Amino acid sequence: MDAALKHLERNHDRFLNLLLDYLKIPSISAQRKHDADSRRAAEFIRARLDEAGFETGFFEGKGLPTVHGARLVDTKKPTLVVYGHYDVQPPDPLDLWESPPFEPVIEDGEIRARGCADDKGPSLALVLAAACWGKDLPMNLRFVIEGEEESGGTVVYDYLKVHRRDLADAKAVAIADAPGIARGVPALCYGLRGIAAVEVTVKGPARDLHSGTYGGSVANPATALARLLATLHDAKGCVAVQGFHEGARPIDDVERKRLSKLPFDERAFLADTGSPALVGEEGFTTWERRTARPTVEINGIFGGYEGEGSKTIIPSRATAKLTCRLVPGQDPKRVQDAVARHLESHAPKGVRLEIARGHTAPAAYMDPETPWAKAARAALERAYGCPAALTREGGSIPVVSAFREAGLEPLLLGTYAPGEKAHSPNERYHVEDFLACIRAGIHFFGAPPA
């Protein structure tokens, strides 16, 4: 361990320069004109894996390659998969950047460049952590670094299917593609919400009707839809759909207490949304509402006239697109059924409903007390000098589900400060967090669970 940490100290500047070189490559996976750049980024990270003694390769599919590398030191020792991505978000709008997005600079201890925090910094850090161990690496490592995370590509999923057997020796996957909970405080995220989409169309007259001639004598589908949607929540902001909460695992007192102690900056969060206030289900904190409580959200609503001025019609139809966010224990298909039943049974008179079920994904709960999770937390604590916060997140991360399906325990590591503007102009990454993430890797790779 000491030798590895010393290696880091001696190579400090070299590692930082490597990151700056990596950040100069505009590997924007969403843009075909940058495909050659993206491949250069793939070659770059593959070269670092080569230098660290990995057997590397490209998995090619429909799109940009997934880089893989294996270093198997002893089949009797445990094996960890490390996931990351070498592609970045488009930098637009360019005029909001204070320095060019692909000309990295270091100022006030921060690196400024597209992709520094998401995810070139953290994923390179873990490759370099392996390099620090040299020939003494105490466990087996397999890196999977894809190139289409930011553009919704599927090459990595094909890789997981095709190479499922190769990964059979591994029990866990470290995913260092998330923020921590506060400046200098890393996190292990153990919960993600699932999703269930439902679309409802309220149909009334066969055509748009003149609201003067007919108004008052037939049901207005937009009014009917509004009245219907108003029944989805009760006065306390709780979802009021019978059967919706079936199976949902409650947040127990221990967890609530822990979540309440997270150093969560609610004022900064509110400012980030731009909403007039934070509101939600009565009896829950903001963090619980956005990560650990199920929701029904209207993603879109439309019907009738949208142009300038007014058009005096009763629209023939009105539609709402809904998605439910689900917590562990809820069955997405049963939630869709419950919502559909609720809508049907609350439909106002004089209209017909059309209900379409959309995509679903279950919530994920990853026990933070397993040997692998404890090992990851211990490594983060040693590297950052404070315990890793245990958190949940409100969204779904498709690659987490894919790894779970491949039989691996996902370890979702939050290694940089929140507010680093991933996906926004002026993305930044604290140099300290880069070094801490390398240290975290050194500690993690050096102390696998027994």
Q: Which is nearer to its own copies, 109 or 215 (CB)?
A: 215
Q: Who contacts 399 (Cβ-Cβ below 8 Å, separation ≥6)? A: 83, 149, 156, 157, 175
Task: State the DSSP code for 252.
Answer: P
Interface with its own copies, residue 268, by CB under 8 A: no
CB of 423 to its own copies, least distance (A): 10
Interface with its own copies, residue 295, by CB under 8 A: yes
Q: Judged by CB under 8 A, which of 298, 374, 405, 407 binds its own copies?
A: 298
Cβ–Cβ < 8 Å for 346, 224:
no
CA dist list (Å): 345 to 37, 91, 253, 338, 341: 55, 47, 35, 10, 6
Q: What are the backbone dihedrals phi and psi of residue 69, each rounded to the nearest 5 degrees, phi first?
A: -150, 140
CB of 146 to its own copies, least distance (A): 21
Compose the 135-174 pattern: x for residues touching its own copies by CB under 8 A, - for all others.
----------------------------------------
**Strand order, beta sheet including 194-203:** 317-326, 194-203, 352-361
Nearest to 389 by CA among 179, 208, 116, 96: 179
How far apart CA 94 and CA 101 sit, in angstroms, is: 8
CB of 57 to its own copies, least distance (A): 33
- Residue 13: count of CB within 10 angstroms of its CB: 8
CB of 143 to its own copies, least distance (A): 27
Compose the 356-375 pattern: x for residues touching its own copies by CB under 8 A, - for all others.
--xx----------------
Q: Judged by CB under 8 A, which of 112, 171, 193, 392 binds its own copies?
A: 193
The length of the chain in residues reads 450
Interface with its own copies, residue 230, by CB under 8 A: yes
Stretch that binds its own copies, among 10-18, 158-166, 167-175, 277-285 (CB under 8 A): 277-285
For its own copies (CB under 8 A), the number of binding residues is: 80
Task: State the DSSP code for 28.
Answer: B
CB of 23 to its own copies, least distance (A): 25
CB of 38 to its own copies, least distance (A): 24
